[in-house]
């Protein structure tokens, strides 16, 4: 078999794996300061159905529910319940191993992404 054809077939077979690597679906945690300056984890559950939930610390009650869409590496999010701001935010995401980095492109909710506009989440 032609080496180029062999390479092309291999590339086509592996391309879905590279697309899956950027998937945000799963359980994540993001450390944030609470009102007293102590660090607590936001626990983020991102479903493959275009929705997410956020819990604070060890509280099993869902604090925020929202929806998201993906367009390549851009994720558009919108909190629907439990948040002061329900504006739309657009982020580029990069998933590497057990880390997902979300970098703000734009966000109507100014406090959502923190002062630097970057959120680094770890697999929970």
Q: What is the Cα 1 distance to its own chain's centre?
A: 42
Q: For the segment 80-121, what is each residue's pLDDT rounded down to a tens digit?
A: 999 999 999 999 999 999 999 999 999 999 888 888 999 999
Q: 3-123 sits in which CATH class? A: mainly beta
Using CA atoms of 104, 78, 68, 39 in order, give the dihedral in degrees to the nearest 10. Answer: 60
Predicted confidence at residue 18, as pLDDT, reads 42
DSSP 16: H
- Rounded Cα gap, residues 95 and 122, in angstroms: 10
Averaged over 31-38, what is the pLDDT? 88
- Rounded Cα gap, residues 19 and 12, in angstroms: 12
Q: For the segment 38-80, what is each residue's pLDDT rounded down to a tens digit?
A: 999 999 999 999 999 999 988 888 899 999 999 999 999 999 9
């Amino acid at each position: 078999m032609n080496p180029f054809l062999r390479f092309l077939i291999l590339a086509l077979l592996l391309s879905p794996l590279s697309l899956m690597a950027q998937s945000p679906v799963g359980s994540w945690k993001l450390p944030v300061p609470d009102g007293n300056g102590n660090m607590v984890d936001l626990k983020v559950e991102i479903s493959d159905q275009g929705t997410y939930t956020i819990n604070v610390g060890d509280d099993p009650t869902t604090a925020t529910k929202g929806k998201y869409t993906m367009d390549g590496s851009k994720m558009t999010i919108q909190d629907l319940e439990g948040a002061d701001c329900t504006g739309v935010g657009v982020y580029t995401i990069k998933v590497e191993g057990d880390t997902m980095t979300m970098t703000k492109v734009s966000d109507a909710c100014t406090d959502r992404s923190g002062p630097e506009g970057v959120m680094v989440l770890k697999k929970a």
